[in-house]
């Protein structure tokens, strides 16, 4: 914990607490302790005090009890110049004290009719909280941001807001820097604000930022089923279920530090655009508590990453229809506009994990000519293609790379007018004339991959960028790295035997094309496509327990010599729609020289017999 930050938080907390005391004393002198004090349209009295202390503040006299508790939370002194001690406890206590004091201040403002401030929403009612708060809980709205201060210029403010809107983030705007607020910047740019636009101005000073925080704490009481006074549980609910963060623009003064400490105590990180000390230890927040990002092009993705917000793209912006209904579509020769791979050109697809700081989420780049540069009368519609996807995530592992890579096949096939067959450096992609006529280009493949990887693998993926290379020399250069990665993945499984483990894994990924098709993946036998090893299937199950790779306990052996187990047979009988009821890993016949699943499949195909396993 930085001594500079701790000192600023404590100074700010004491300043705000003193203001709360002064305002409360004046209000009692004017109106008496029995004077009713309340926020509009809420059943939670002073929401922060109610959730954390179990208090039901209805009068000015009852507010005095909250003020007395605030004083117990404030440390007597700032951090010493000579004796360095851990400051985290004092900082968090001071942060909570700040929020409780701010709640008193704005409640008294309501009593005197000075809230809400000009053009601002003020206190968020229970009705609004319920109508939009449920979207935060069920994931339709992935999170909310509270912005304090002002950007260096109007265009920067607008860019930040638009990036947040694109991600369906609810945005609370307010506070000020050197007398200027982001509210003014947005008004000058004719930006429509309000609940319908996901941009809500809360107030023009830092103290009014408490409105967004007591909105969050009411979610715990309303949707979490928690009770007033359960401070720890209410704070943990905010950390784990309410994906909020604070973004400070401009100078961070003592009041902002103190309010930010309160947000951190609730599990919400603070991101600043100025060179401030950072707080990296995790625990109170999911990841870092206080970070800086000086590049405005990266500041929104940085906020999303630090809070762990899982963004989903509602509508994939491509010029063709997209959905599972098109997954089995074929592109015939007479329909062909462009193709990549197969026997016609060099093509491959490769997904790798990288450094989060070096990946710009959503970046899609086509390096080389796109399909709109193909001559319309050209006889050869084939082009080289390298699809290189880079992902980053806090929970991303190298073992997960082939699982995510294999989804390229699935995602591309869901676009109307596209066909994808195979994987790795044996892929084959076709685009039909109708899709090209509608404006589909290679960059849209990157758009699809970015959106779907975020949607389906948000638990492990925070950032996705895609590069598509169409120059022969680039594809030849990059395929060396890809093949090395393929070989490394295959070598991971070497040395393991079927007898050394107690479970196999299924693979039903190809059932979109072959509804009755099922593979069993063992340490010694890949799936028929050759893309998944046993370790890959195991990792896939860890990522997506309800996905296409399911564990099959070997259980009792029917015939160990032939490699036949009762549980495996039962699984096939169920998942192959009752078309296959017996499988084996070895078959002792003169016509079958090898004993692998794959060679047995070839044997069945040649003989046009399909009694066993696919």
Q: Using H for helix, E for strand and C for coil, what is the string for 532-563?
A: CCHHHHHHHHHHCCCCCCCEEECCCEEECCCC
Strands 382-383 and 336-341: parallel
Question: Going from the N-terminus, what domains does the chain have, and what CATH number goes with each?
Answer: 3-307 (3.40.50.2030), 324-491 (3.30.1650.10), 498-607 (3.40.970.20)
CA–chain centroid gap for 19, Å, is 39
**What would the 3-class secondary structure string for 304-353 be?**
HHHHCCCCCCCCCCCCCCECHHHCCCCCCHHHEEEEEECCCCCEEEEEEE
pTM of the model: 0.71
Question: Which residue in 354, 349, 540 sits closest to 462, CA to CA?
Answer: 354
What confidence score (pLDDT) does residue 592 get? 33
What confidence score (pLDDT) does residue 531 get? 64
Strands 290-292 and 336-341: unpaired
Question: Which residue in 289, 288, 98, 121 sits closest to 215, CA to CA?
Answer: 121
What confidence score (pLDDT) does residue 175 get? 95
**CB neighbour burial string for 300-328, b if at least 16 within 10 angstroms, e if fewer:** bbbbbbbbbbbbebeebebebebeeebbe
149 touches 116 (CB < 8 A): no
What confidence score (pLDDT) does residue 596 get? 39
329 touches 413 (CB < 8 A): yes
Rounded to whole angstroms, the Cα distance separating 149 from 161 reads 13
**552 pairs with which residues across the strands?**
504
342 touches 428 (CB < 8 A): yes
pLDDT tens digit string along 347-403? 999 999 998 888 888 899 999 998 887 765 555 688 999 999 999 988 888 888 888
Residue/partner pairs of 282-290 with CB below 8 Å, 24 or more apart: 284/88, 284/92, 284/239, 285/239, 286/239, 287/394, 289/264, 290/5, 290/260, 290/264
Average pLDDT for runs of 10 along the chain of length 614: 85 95 95 94 94 95 95 82 69 94 96 92 90 67 91 95 87 94 94 89 95 93 91 93 93 95 95 92 88 92 87 77 81 89 90 89 91 66 92 86 88 91 88 91 93 85 92 93 88 75 83 77 79 77 81 81 79 79 56 38 41 35
**What would the 3-class secondary structure string for 99-156 be?**
HHHHHHHHHHHHHHCCCCCCCCCCCCCHHHHHHHHHHHHHCCCCCEEEEEECCCCHHH
């Amino acid at each position: 914990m930085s001594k500079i930050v701790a000192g600023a938080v404590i100074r700010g907390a004491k300043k705000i607490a003193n203001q709360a005391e002064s305002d409360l004393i004046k209000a009692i002198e004017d109106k008496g302790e029995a004077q009713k004090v309340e926020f509009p349209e809420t059943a939670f009295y002073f929401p922060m005090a109610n959730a954390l202390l179990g208090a039901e503040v209805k009068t000015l006299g009852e507010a005095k009890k909250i003020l007395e508790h605030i004083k117990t939370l404030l440390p007597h002194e700032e951090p010493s110049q000579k004796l360095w001690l851990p400051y985290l406890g004092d900082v968090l206590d001071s942060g909570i004290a700040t929020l409780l004091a701010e709640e008193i201040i704005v409640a008294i403002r309501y009593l005197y009719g000075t809230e809400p401030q000009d053009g601002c929403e003020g206190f968020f009612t229970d009705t609004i909280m319920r109508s939009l708060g449920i979207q935060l809980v069920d994931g339709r709205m992935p999170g909310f941001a509270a912005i304090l201060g002002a950007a260096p210029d109007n265009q920067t403010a607008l860019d930040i807001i638009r990036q947040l809107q694109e991600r369906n983030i609810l945005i609370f705007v307010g506070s000020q820097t050197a007398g200027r607020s982001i509210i003014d910047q947005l008004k000058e740019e004719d930006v429509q604000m309000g609940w319908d636009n996901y941009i809500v101005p809360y107030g023009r000073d830092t103290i009014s930022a408490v409105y967004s925080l007591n909105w969050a704490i009411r979610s715990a009481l309303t949707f979490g089923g928690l009770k007033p006074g359960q401070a720890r549980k209410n704070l943990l609910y905010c950390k784990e279920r309410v994906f909020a963060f604070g973004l400070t623009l401009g100078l961070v003064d003592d009041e902002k530090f103190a309010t930010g400490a309160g947000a951190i105590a609730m599990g919400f990180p603070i991101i600043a655009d100025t060179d401030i000390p950072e707080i990296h230890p995790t625990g109170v927040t999911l990841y870092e508590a206080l970070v800086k990002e000086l590049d405005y092009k990266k500041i929104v993705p940085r906020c999303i990453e630090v809070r762990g917000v899982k963004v989903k793209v509602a509508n994939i912006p491509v010029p063709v229809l997209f959905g599972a209904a098109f997954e089995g579509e074929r592109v015939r020769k007479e329909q062909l506009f462009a193709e990549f791979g197969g026997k016609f050109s060099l093509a491959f697809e490769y997904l790798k994990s990288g450094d989060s700081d070096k990946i710009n989420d959503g970046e899609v780049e086509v390096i080389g000519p796109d399909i709109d540069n193909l001559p319309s009368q050209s006889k050869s519609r084939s082009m080289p293609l390298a699809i290189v996807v880079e992902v980053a995530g806090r929970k991303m592992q190298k073992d997960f790379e082939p699982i995510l890579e294999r989804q390229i096949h699935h995602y591309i096939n869901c676009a109307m007018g596209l066909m994808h067959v195979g994987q790795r450096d044996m892929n084959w992609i076709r685009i039909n004339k109708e899709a090209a006529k509608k404006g589909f280009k290679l960059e849209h493949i990157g758009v699809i991959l970015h959106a779907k990887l975020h949607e389906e693998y948000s638990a492990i993926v925070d950032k996705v960028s895609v590069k598509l290379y169409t120059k022969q020399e680039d594809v030849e250069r990059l395929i060396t790295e890809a093949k090395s990665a393929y070989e490394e993945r295959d070598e991971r499984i070497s040395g393991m035997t079927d007898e050394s483990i107690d479970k196999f894994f299924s693979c039903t990924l190809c059932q979109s094309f072959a509804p009755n098709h099922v593979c069993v993946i063992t340490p010694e036998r890949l799936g028929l496509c050759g893309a998944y090893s046993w370790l890959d299937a195991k990792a896939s199950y860890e990522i997506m327990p309800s996905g296409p790779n399911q564990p099959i306990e070997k259980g009792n052996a029917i015939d160990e010599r032939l490699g036949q187990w009762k549980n495996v047979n039962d699984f096939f009988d169920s998942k192959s729609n009752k078309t296959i009821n017996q499988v084996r890993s070895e078959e002792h016949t003169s016509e079958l020289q090898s004993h692998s699943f794959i060679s047995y499949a070839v044997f069945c195909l040649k003989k046009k017999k399909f009694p066993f396993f696919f």
